[in-house]
């Protein structure tokens, strides 16, 4: 079911960025955004594309007081054949609904949501940068919008989509990152909201992230919230290890975000003949493998970076150097294949590329 979308074009289009090497991440936004309202009696209504601008939101809205918000992160690519593509967008749509369900926000029709993404990307396609590695980052989000302070499931909500041209994540090649293992704060616990892509998880993670950054580390590797013993994920990325030839990645037990890049990497590696274990992996097992040399590669996976090699791990005052602080062969192969499929340089045998329009 498609939503009936009205379009109001801006009368004051902005100048598109001239220097694509300075785009960075999420700093500038396109000319339009998508908005749609929800009411429990009416369902979703008033689907509209309007000029980009502030949201007039009631000060008592539940999003401000109780953090009733979920989001998605995906990209539109300018492929080498000139077409505009997204990568497995239906996976994002489904995950949005799973996240919404956890926070008692309403579901969106899947076909309707994909159509919304299509329409906003097609309208904003001239904002997709042209340089190698650049893309249009798409941020769909939904929030509870009841204008009273009682705590309850959303009777009113808003679904919005904003778009931002973003630079190449690796301007200077795939440099390994330094990761600090966090043993104090936790991001999520089983039964909580860890598997949902919600703003609250990020609010909970900020303090450890700041601490790690102050000590010279890029991101935090989270341990489980109960025993602080099992590996969960890295910042906004899932994490994978190659130990003695086998791939190990934390199982999805409720506190880890089910990444689409994670899923795609697992599918690729299995098709290449690797054994991939989704299971609990303890910090002791990991550090032992790092010390005895069987930890061959470690990397994070996520839409923003695709894959991010981990060169150093820091835990309880000790720094462990992995793969000589260089990108490993399998990490590089994953990066080349995923980005190859995304930009249409490598044949897509999986049906992952979704063509929005011709450029």
Ligand X SMILES: *Cc1c(COP(=O)(O)O)cnc(C)c1O
Of 260, 213, 254, give the one whose Cα is nearest residue 232: 254
Q: With contact defined as beta carbons under 8 Å apart, do 50 and 44 qualify?
A: no
What's phi and psi for 176, nearest 5 deg? -60, 145
How far apart are CB 126 and ligand X at their closest, in Å? 25
What is the C-alpha to C-alpha distance for residues 278 and 231, in angstroms, rounded to an integer? 12
238 binds ligand X (CB under 6 A): yes
> Pick from 176, 199, 259, 344: which binds ligand X (CB under 6 A)?
259
Which residue number, 211 or 326, has a Cβ lying nearer to ligand X?
A: 211
**40-79 footprint of ligand X as x/- string (CB under 6 A):** ---------------------------------x------
233 binds ligand X (CB under 6 A): yes
Which residue number, 94 or 211, has a Cβ lying nearer to ligand X?
A: 94
232 binds ligand X (CB under 6 A): no
236 binds ligand X (CB under 6 A): yes
DSSP for residue 1: -
Residues written for the chain: 359
Ordered DSSP codes for 179-226: EEEPSS--S--TTTTTTS-BHHHHHHHHHHHHHHHHTT-SEEEEEPTT
> Pick from 78, 197, 242, 312: which binds ligand X (CB under 6 A)?
197
Which residue number, 124 or 233, has a Cβ lying nearer to ligand X?
A: 233
Which residue number, 47 or 305, has a Cβ lying nearer to ligand X?
A: 305
How far apart are CB 254 and ligand X at their closest, in Å? 13
Stretch that binds ligand X, among 41-49, 113-121, 127-135, 255-263 (CB under 6 A): 255-263
Residues 6+ apart with CB under 8 A from 101: 107
DSSP for residue 237: B
Count interface residues toward ligand X (CB under 6 A): 14
What is the C-alpha to C-alpha distance for residues 99 and 157, in angstroms, rounded to an integer? 14
Task: With both helix axes pointing from N to C terminus, report the angle between 89-102 and 110-123 in degrees, rounded to the nearest 10.
Answer: 120
36 binds ligand X (CB under 6 A): no
> Pick from 138, 208, 237, 338: which binds ligand X (CB under 6 A)?
237
Q: Which residues of the shown chain bind ligand X in the complex (CB under 6 A)?
A: 73, 197, 233, 236-238, 257, 259-262, 301-303
């Amino acid at each position: 079911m498609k939503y009936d979308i009205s379009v109001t074009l801006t009368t004051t289009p902005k100048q598109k960025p001239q220097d694509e090497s300075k785009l960075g991440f999420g700093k500038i936004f396109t000319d339009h955004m998508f908005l749609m309202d929800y009411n429990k009696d009416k369902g979703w209504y008033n689907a509209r594309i309007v000029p980009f601008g502030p949201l007039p939101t009631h000060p008592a809205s539940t999003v401000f007081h109780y953090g009733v918000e979920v989001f998605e992160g995906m990209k539109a690519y300018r492929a080498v054949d000139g077409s505009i593509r997204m990568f497995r967008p239906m996976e994002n749509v489904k995950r949005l609904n799973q996240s919404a369900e956890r926070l008692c926000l309403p579901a969106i029709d899947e076909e309707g949501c994909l159509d919304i993404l299509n329409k906003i990307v097609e309208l904003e396609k001239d904002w997709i940068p042209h340089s190698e590695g650049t893309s249009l980052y798409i941020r769909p989000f939904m929030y509870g919008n009841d204008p009273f302070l009682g705590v309850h499931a959303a009777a009113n909500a808003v679904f919005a989509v904003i778009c931002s041209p973003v630079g190449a994540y690796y301007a200077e090649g795939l440099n390994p990152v330094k990761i600090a293992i966090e043993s104090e704060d936790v991001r999520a616990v089983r039964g909580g909201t860890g598997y949902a892509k919600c703003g609250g998880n990020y609010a909970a993670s900020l303090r450890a992230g700041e601490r790690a950054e102050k000590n010279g580390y890029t991101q935090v590797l989270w341990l489980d919230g109960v025993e602080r013993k099992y590996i969960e994920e890295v910042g906004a990325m899932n994490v994978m290890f190659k130990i003695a030839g086998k791939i190990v990645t934390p199982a999805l037990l409720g506190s880890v975000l089910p990444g689409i890049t994670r899923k795609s990497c697992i599918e690729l590696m299995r098709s290449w003949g690797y054994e991939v274990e989704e299971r609990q992996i303890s910090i002791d097992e990991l550090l032992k493998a790092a010390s005895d040399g069987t930890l061959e590669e470690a990397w994070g996976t996520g839409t923003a970076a695709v894959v991010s090699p981990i060169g150093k791990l820091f835990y309880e005052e000790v720094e462990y150097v992995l793969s000589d602080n260089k990108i490993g062969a399998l990490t590089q192969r994953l990066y080349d294949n995923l980005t190859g499929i995304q930009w249409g340089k490598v044949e897509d045998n999986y049906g992952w590329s979704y063509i929005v329009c011709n450029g």
